[in-house]
């Protein structure tokens, strides 16, 4: 199969992952942080698919399905928590939610 070379796919994944991480670190709103997390998860999923295609193995796609379910579960729990936090603290600013100091 000729297609996108693995290097390109990996660079794409790296860029996506870095974007997600930066979003996670720079954004202050919980919703956006959750979205950044999704981007990071998806970047790894793309890496698995690309690697699977490169070595002609189905494992990469299986991992993708696994990550997809994981992401769905995570979003479900995360959004529920976000709702709860919004109800209780009337804010989604993560800097304001620093009560758990050591």
Partner 1 sequence: MLDFLFLVFMFPLAGFMVLAFARRRLSENQVAAIGVGSIGASALLTLLLGVSFLSNPPEGQAHTQLLWTWMSVDGFAPQFALRLDGLSLVMLGVINGVGFFIHLFASWYMRGDDSYDRFFSYMNLFVASMLFLVLGDNLLFLYFGWEGVGLSSYLLIGFWYKDPANGAAARKAFVVTRVGDTFMAIGLFILYHQLGTLNIQELMVLAPQHWAVGSDIATIAALLLLGGAVGKSAQLPLQTWLPDAMAGPTPVSALIHAATMVTAGVYLIARTHVLFELSPFALNCVGWVGAITLLLAGFTALTQTDIKRVLAYSTMSQIGYMFLALGAGAWSAAIFHLMTHAFFKALLFLSAGSVILALHHEQDIFKMGGLRTKIPFVFWVFSIGCLGLVAFPFTSGFFSKDEILWQAWASGHHDLFYAGLCGAFLTAVYTTRLVALTFFGAPRSEAAREAHAGHGLAHSLPLAVLAFFAVFGGWIVLPLADVLPRLELPSEGQHGIEALSIAVSLSGITLAAWLFLRAPDAVKALAQNPPGRLLHRYWTSAFGFDWLYERLFIRPYLGFIRINGHDFIESFVAAVPVAFVRLHAALALTQNGRLRWYAASVAAGAVLMIAVVIL
Asked if residues 85 and 30 have their Cβ atoms less than 8 Å apart, the reply is yes
Residue 99 near partner 1 by CB under 8 A: yes
Shortest gap between Cβ of 61 and partner 1 (angstroms)?
25
Segment interacting with partner 1 (CB under 8 A) among 4-12, 21-29, 47-55, 56-64? 21-29
Q: How many angstroms separate the CA atoms of 10 and 43, rounded?
A: 9
CB 40 within 8 A of CB 21: yes
91 three-class SS: coil
Q: Is 85 in the site for partner 1 (CB under 8 A)?
A: no
Where b means 16+ CB within 10 Å and e means fewer, 21-58 reads eebbeeeeebeebbbbbbbbbbbbbbbbbbbbbbeeee
Residue of 1, 55, 56, 101 that binds partner 1 (CB under 8 A): 101
Least Å distance, CB 33 to partner 1, is 8
Could you say which residues in the range 25-84 bind partner 1, by CB under 8 A? 25, 28, 33
Q: Which residues form the interface with partner 1 (CB under 8 A)?
A: 21, 24-25, 28, 33, 94-95, 97-102
């Amino acid at each position: 199969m000729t297609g996108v070379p693995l290097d390109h796919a990996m660079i794409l994944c790296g860029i996506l992952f870095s974007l997600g991480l930066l979003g996670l670190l720079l954004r202050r709103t919980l919703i956006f942080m959750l979205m950044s997390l999704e981007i990071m998860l998806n970047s790894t999923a793309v890496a698995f698919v690309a690697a699977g295609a490169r070595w002609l193995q189905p494992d990469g796609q299986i991992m993708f399905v696994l990550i997809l379910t994981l992401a769905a579960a995570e979003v479900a729990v995360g959004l529920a928590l976000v709702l709860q936090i919004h109800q209780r603290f009337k804010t989604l600013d993560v800097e304001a939610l620093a009560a758990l100091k050591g």
